[in-house]
Amino acid sequence: MSIQEQLLNIETEAVTKINAALTQVELNDLRAFYMGKKSPLGEIMKSMATLSIEDKKIIGKLANEVKVKIESAVTQRRAYLEQEEVNNRLKNETIDVTLPGKEFKVGTSHPLSKTIEEVEEIFMGMGYSIAEGPEVEVDLYNFEMLNVPKGHPARDMQDSFYITENLLMRTQTSPVQVRTLLEKKGAPVKILAPGKVYRRDDDDATHSHQFMQFEGLVVDKHITMSDLKGTLQLFVQKMFGDSRKIRFKPSYFPFTEPSVEVDVSCFKCGGKGCSMCKQSGWIEVLGAGMVHPNVLASAGYDPEVYRGFAFGIGIERVTMLRHGIDDIRNFYLNDSRFLEQFKGEN
Amino acid sequence: MIVSYNWLKELINLNVSPEKLAEEMSLYSVEVETFNKMVKATNLVVGHVLECVDHPDSDHLHVCQVNLGERVDQIVCGAPNIAAGQKVIVALPGAVLPGGTIKNSKVRGVESNGMICSLQELGIENKYVPAIYQNGIYVLDNDATPGQDALEYLCFDDYLIELSLTPNRMDLMSMLGVAHDVSAMYNVPMNNLECSFTEVSKLASDEISVKLETEDCYSYYARIVKDVVIKESPKFIKARLIASGVRPINNVVDITNYVLMLFGQPLHSFDQDKLGNTIIVRNALDGEVLETLDDLERKLVSTDIVISDNLENNRAVCVAGVMGGKSTEVTLDTKNIVLESAVFKPLSVRKTSARLGLRSESSVRFERGVDLNRSLAAVDYACYLLEKYADGKVLKGYVHEGIKHLEDKEIHLTEKYVEEYLGINIPTVLIKEILEKLKFTVEVCGDDIKVLVPNRRLDIEIKQDLIEEIARMYGYDKLNETLPSMTVEGELTHAQHIRKVINKTLVGLGLSETVSYSLVSPKLSNMCKVLFSDDFKEIKLLHPMTEEHSILRRSIVPSLIDVIKYNNARKNYNVSIYEIAQQYGLENNEPKESYLLAGALQGVHSSTIWQGKKEVVDFYYVKGMLDVMFDKVGAQVKYAPLSVNCPELHPGRSAEIILNNELIGYLGELHPTLVKAEDIEPTYVFEVKLEPLFNIPSNVVLFKQISKVPSVERDLALVMDQNIAVGEVLNAIYRCDKNMIKKVSVFDIYVGDKIESGKKSVAVRITLESLDTLTDEVINQKMKKILNTLAYMYKIEIRK
């Protein structure tokens, strides 16, 4: 067998064994054996002394090539074995990703707060500030300055929780209007006042002795009733959907003149008539009107110079309509099975 | 107010379907509450019972041969009062009644082709059915024609429009008032009411005189009608009264009620033979007693107005505007009557009717205000009806005291003002046209529009009221949709912002928000008195509806305990809730309210049960959670054992929260006794005053250089007396060098036999950081200082 043949045999044998190595240790041993000084290759190199210069060149080159190939086989096998190790580890570490994850308590705002927040955001986008006032209110602000003097029939509509003769739980958020006007002293006003109000109603599916309202008030020199309509149209679209329409119907509130009830085209049937809108196509949602001159005057705004509009909504009503809630008491019982239904709404 | 469509059509030339009228009244006049047919039943005709024999196979059924006009048919009837010769209401096969559909059938083997009906079977309420027909079929008068539509015969073929009247529109509490508005809506004229009667030569003033002794009676008319014959009212009157919700009684009473519904003017009729010859309108005497028509003795007070006569020391005979007296009641024997058409002060009638619990069709109208310009026409119309339907003879003239006529109100407007108000232009001619349709008098002079508003419209006082009339009649749908042009910006106040931050943080930490009642029971009102003292007095309602909701709460936590109880009782466990709401109380007798944040947590807050892992709420969980929240709002709080007595809390597991040396809140475990009494799971609660948090100014973070070298950690095992509060020790360490010591944490606590008894070993990790490299020398110096401090302050030693 020629030297060339011996070299090629060594190469074949080494590469075969290297590629069959199953562990890094085995591979290291093989590398040490084939690349070390006492390796078969080394033996052949030693015997090269007897060869001619020409042959030395040829054989030397060949021997080097064999060496490189063996080295490369080792590198490749090493990479392969490392990858195998990783693969094995990953395989062993595989878990059932369908098992339940850690259960956290998920919190949620109260559905009434969600409605308030949404309404606030809509109106803040239109430049309104959020105004607040006390819930224990003086008769003067809750009634008198809102054009509801003692003995006025409108006091019939809202039997109240009195604390003293002149102090009561506010029956509406409207006293915030009075307080804001008094505070602003003639400057333009653009506020939204959400909050709790109280009336002497027996608690049942549609009544609650405590409920929430929000009140909007805009006062400036050039305010018109068309501004009121445009404002509410925009609000209703943002709150109930772009295709919603509104209509005004004559109504009465002591602190506005003219006063209107505001219907919204039914958000369930779109106006065709369904059980939700009692076949009328419309749902009564808001009360509104132009601020009564007596209210402006009593707060120090000259009604010949200033005009304004105001509107109010029952927050429970809106929330019930939107979510299909059929009993107002749900809001105040705070059953966790009720509250947690709203955790997915953001 | 219920409007009869047929009656309305008699008053105005109306060419609009009842459905459309109901829909459009809501848009142009006043809200329509309901719209219905007066009787929904169909296929009803008049039948003449020709023959009525007993059913061969029944002890109560009758077999009748009934003339139905076009044919005679056999009908089986079970009513006890059926008899041959009667004219009756027959529901033909196919008729739909409230009780079901009528079909040809066999009743115990006998063919029956229809049903003879009672009024109740048509859907008429029992109270409107005459007593004699309440337990059987209704028998029609003899003038009914067989085969004729029975509803038409009874004047029941009507539509009812129920108005939801707002307090201002008292003018719509009469058919004439509604007719005025509807005639304006459709621009159709009103028909003249026929009101002609013959007066006998004798003067009413010869038999009666009137004295007004109170200012609370504005006007009083009296007329006398003689020789009336008390009987049933004609069908149309009965039908219209039933439509209006008034029970027909007899012609005289019915006529006064009919006039009330038509004119909105309450009338009262006295039996003249039981009444003296002088009517005195006066205030009642305190304690005066009067037996009213409902057989009750009414005790009166001096603010009540009474009608009295000149008999028995000027006895009261009627509570004015509210209810008549027994002594002068019109009965079946009455022959001569005195008719009263008066107007009383609204507030006085309101107080009296409220005090006596008597709200009638009369009192409601007086309370809202009656148009005294119409009082005479109303009483005259009653005379006309009494002559026509009660054979009465009307005495000549009337007796009157008080105001006879109120002038129209004058209000001025301009087209420009209307335009500025509504944001749309309505030309003067159109404004004039609209107001004239409402029967207001309008004079245009240059820009000025002068409007004279009749007294009928008591609600219209200022130009804005007129603008409402113009706008609703012109149509609110014609308003533009514009937005106010203003230069104000919308923003949240700092307090509102902080509340939002707190809400978001707590929801993010897994708490759900509740909204509970502000009004609580006396028991709840006196729980959890940590954030208020006894000087912060309860605010109590004057007239609570129930004791359960009688006092304004001073703490939210008791309400949350109730919520927990409600949930636990329904097997909803692991509740974690919070609420931001007001506390209310009297401070130096002035009401004060301020925001509190309260929370209640219990049970598991996170878990991977199949791995055997679950974390349960404990004191430190709640404390850590609060720390997150305080961090978010920039509050650096401290905790200390609760120094205030709070029986609702576990004394060893409750802490107060201190901000700038002020107690602003507390947290703790509910007392086991309370937990047991309320039958709830162990629960932790907290409550924090929010005003101090609102007062922390919003801060802009100033960047601090980040050290280029890593921080260094040193662990110490500190042995100290068991009663030493670790929190204080941590603070003491931190204070040794606030710049360099970034963090001090506890990683182990040991109590046991490896250390001296009465001691605990607390393992702390101190993280030091500096902009420059920390040398061992510097670190050791720092640690030495810490150890010296701790040894000095707390006799703490390093564990060996």
Domains, in order of start, for chain A: 3-93 (no CATH), 111-342 (3.30.930.10)
pLDDT of residue A154: 62
Categorize the per-residue pLDDT at A153 as very low, low, confident or very high, splitting at 50, 70 and 90: low
Strand B87-91 and strand B44-54: the pairing is antiparallel
CATH number of this structure's domain B409-474, picked from the four choices 3.40.50.300, 3.50.50.60, 3.60.21.10, 3.30.56.10 = 3.30.56.10
Rounded Cα gap, residues B605 and B504, in angstroms: 18
Rounded Cα gap, residues A258 and A250, in angstroms: 8
The answer for residues whose C-beta is within 8 angstroms of residue A132's C-beta and 6 or more apart is: A176, A193, A195, B496
pLDDT of residue B99: 86
Contact A249, A282 (CB under 8 A): no
- Amino acid at the residue B174: S
Using DSSP's 3-state secondary structure scheme, residue B663 falls into: strand
The answer for residues whose C-beta is within 8 angstroms of residue B299's C-beta and 6 or more apart is: B287, B288, B289
A281 inside 8 A of chain B by CB: no
Rounded Cα gap, residues B560 and A298, in angstroms: 41
Contact B121, B115 (CB under 8 A): yes
Distances (CA, A) of B464 to A153, B371, B652: 20, 22, 67
The answer for residues whose C-beta is within 8 angstroms of residue A64's C-beta and 6 or more apart is: none
Look up the CATH number of domain B494-694. Answer: 3.30.930.10
Question: Facing residues of B639 across strands?
Answer: B657
Distances (CA, A) of B62 to B52, B55, B59, B84, B675: 6, 5, 9, 10, 72
Q: What is the pLDDT of residues A169-217, one digit of tens each?
A: 999 999 999 999 999 988 999 999 999 999 998 999 999 999 999 999 9
Shortest distance, CA B650 to any CA of chain A (angstroms): 25
- Can you read off the two tokens belonging to residue A271? 């106006």
Q: B541, B579, B602: which to substitute to probe chain A, counting the most A Cβ within 10 Å?
A: B541
The list of chain B residues with pLDDT below 70 reads: none
Chain B contacts of A109, Cβ < 8 Å? 503, 507, 513
Q: Name the residue in chain A with its Cα closest to that of B460.
A: A257
- Can you read off the two tokens belonging to residue A68? 């490189």
Which residue of A105, A251, A333 is in closest CB contact with B31? A251
Q: What is the pLDDT of residues B529-576, one digit of tens each?
A: 999 998 999 999 998 999 999 999 999 999 999 999 999 999 999 999
Burial class from Cβ neighbours inside 10 Å (0-12, 13-18, 19+) for residue B501 reads middle
Q: Provide the CATH topology of domain B44-153.
A: OB fold (Dihydrolipoamide Acetyltransferase, E2P) (2.40.50)
Which residue of B168, B545, B574 is in closest CB contact with A209? B545
CB pairs under 8 A between A and B: 249
Rounded Cα gap, residues B16 and B29, in angstroms: 15
Backbone angles phi, psi at B607, to 5 degrees: -160, 150
CA nearest B431: which of B448, B407, B410? B448
* CB-based contact B517 A343, cutoff 8 Å: no
Superfamily of domain B712-798: Ferrodoxin-fold anticodon-binding domain (3.30.70.380)
Rounded Cα gap, residues B444 and B413, in angstroms: 10
Categorize the per-residue pLDDT at A156 as very low, low, confident or very high, splitting at 50, 70 and 90: low
pLDDT of residue B631: 94
Q: Provide the CATH topology of domain B199-402.
A: Phenylalanyl-tRNA Synthetase; Chain B, domain 3 (3.50.40)
Shortest distance, CA B202 to any CA of chain A (angstroms): 43
* CB-based contact A104 B605, cutoff 8 Å: yes
Listed by number, the residues of chain B in 603-632 with a beta carbon closer than 8 Å to a beta carbon of chain A are: 604-610, 613
CA nearest B582: which of A114, A158, A201, A198? A198
Which residue of A100, A105, A151 is in closest CB contact with B605? A105
Contact B90, B117 (CB under 8 A): yes
Contact B340, B222 (CB under 8 A): yes
Shortest distance, CA B41 to any CA of chain A (angstroms): 22
Asked whether the domain spanning B712-798 has the same topology as the one spanning B2-38+159-186, the reply is no
Does the structure show a pLDDT above 70 at A346?
A: no
Q: What is the pLDDT of residues A300-309, one digit of tens each?
A: 999 999 999 9
Beta strands (DSSP E) in B493-587 are: 512-513, 519-520, 551-552, 576-587
Q: Which single residue is written with the structure tokens 């007993």?
A: B54
Which residue of B465, B471, B542 is in closest CB contact with A163? B542
Q: Name the residue in chain A with its Cα closest to that of B26.
A: A249
- Can you read off the two tokens belonging to residue A311? 């509107």
Listed by number, the residues of chain B in 539-578 with a beta carbon closer than 8 Å to a beta carbon of chain A are: 539-545, 549, 552, 563, 566-567, 570, 572, 574-577
CA nearest B406: which of B445, B456, B368, B338? B456
pLDDT of residue B487: 79
So where are chain B's domains? 2-38+159-186, 44-153, 199-402, 409-474, 494-694, 712-798
Q: DSSP for A195-241? A: EEEE-----SSS--SEEEEEEEEEEETT--HHHHHHHHHHHHHHHH-
Does the structure show a pLDDT above 60 at A158?
A: no
In chain A, which residue ranges form alpha helices assigned H by DSSP?
A: 3-20, 24-35, 40-46, 53-93, 111-125, 139-142, 154-157, 175-184, 225-240, 293-298, 315-323, 330-333, 336-339
Radius of gyration of chain A measured on its C-alpha atoms: 43
Does the structure show a pLDDT above 70 at A103?
A: yes
The answer for residues whose C-beta is within 8 angstroms of residue B314's C-beta and 6 or more apart is: B280, B282, B308
Rounded Cα gap, residues B19 and B35, in angstroms: 8
Shortest distance, CA A341 to any CA of chain B (angstroms): 11
Q: What is the pTM of this model?
A: 0.86
Rounded Cα gap, residues B199 and B394, in angstroms: 5
Residues A185, A188, A190, A196, Cα dihedral to 10°:
10
pLDDT of residue B502: 97
Categorize the per-residue pLDDT at A42 as very low, low, confident or very high, splitting at 50, 70 and 90: confident
* CB-based contact A162 B30, cutoff 8 Å: no
Contact B430, B474 (CB under 8 A): yes
Rounded Cα gap, residues B425 and B412, in angstroms: 17
Categorize the per-residue pLDDT at A277 as very low, low, confident or very high, splitting at 50, 70 and 90: confident
Using DSSP's 3-state secondary structure scheme, residue B240 falls into: helix
Which residue of A162, A250, A337 is in closest CB contact with B572? A337
CA nearest B320: which of B381, B277, B365, B276? B365
Rounded Cα gap, residues B588 and B585, in angstroms: 10
Q: Which single residue is written with the structure tokens 């709460």?
A: B553
Burial class from Cβ neighbours inside 10 Å (0-12, 13-18, 19+) for residue B408 reads middle
* CB-based contact B421 A307, cutoff 8 Å: yes
pLDDT of residue A39: 81
Asked if the interface predicted TM-score (ipTM) of this complex is over 0.85, the answer is: yes
Chain B contacts of A155, Cβ < 8 Å? none
pLDDT of residue A303: 94
Element containing residue B797 per DSSP (H, E): strand B797-798
* CB-based contact A108 B541, cutoff 8 Å: no
Q: A165, A189, A203, A229: which to substitute to probe chain B, counting the most B Cβ within 10 Å?
A: A229
Contact B563, B516 (CB under 8 A): yes
Distances (CA, A) of B748 to A314, A331, B143, B734: 55, 45, 105, 18
Listed by number, the residues of chain B in 130-149 with a beta carbon closer than 8 Å to a beta carbon of chain A are: none
Instruction: Compute the C-alpha angle A333/A337/A342, nearest 5°.
Output: 95
- Interhelix angle for B361-368 vs B251-263, to 10°? 30
Question: Facing residues of B325 across strands?
Answer: B292
Categorize the per-residue pLDDT at A310 as very low, low, confident or very high, splitting at 50, 70 and 90: very high
Does the structure show a pLDDT above 80 at A151?
A: no
Which residue of B490, B519, B608 is in closest CB contact with A128? B490
Does the structure show a pLDDT above 60 at A157?
A: no
A344 inside 8 A of chain B by CB: no
The answer for residues whose C-beta is within 8 angstroms of residue B237's C-beta and 6 or more apart is: B248, B251, B254, B255, B258, B385, B389
CA nearest A110: which of A285, A325, A336, A267? A336
A129 inside 8 A of chain B by CB: yes
Chain B contacts of A259, Cβ < 8 Å? 166, 468
Using DSSP's 3-state secondary structure scheme, residue A116 falls into: helix
Which residue of A102, A128, A231 is in closest CB contact with B606? A102
* CB-based contact B512 A336, cutoff 8 Å: yes
Q: Which CATH architecture has domain B2-38+159-186?
A: 2-Layer Sandwich (3.30)
Which residue of A113, A220, A335 is in closest CB contact with B484? A220
Chain B contacts of A198, Cβ < 8 Å? 518-519
* CB-based contact A334 B577, cutoff 8 Å: yes
Element containing residue B428 per DSSP (H, E): helix B428-437
- Can you read off the two tokens belonging to residue B38? 């007066």
Shortest distance, CA A163 to any CA of chain B (angstroms): 5
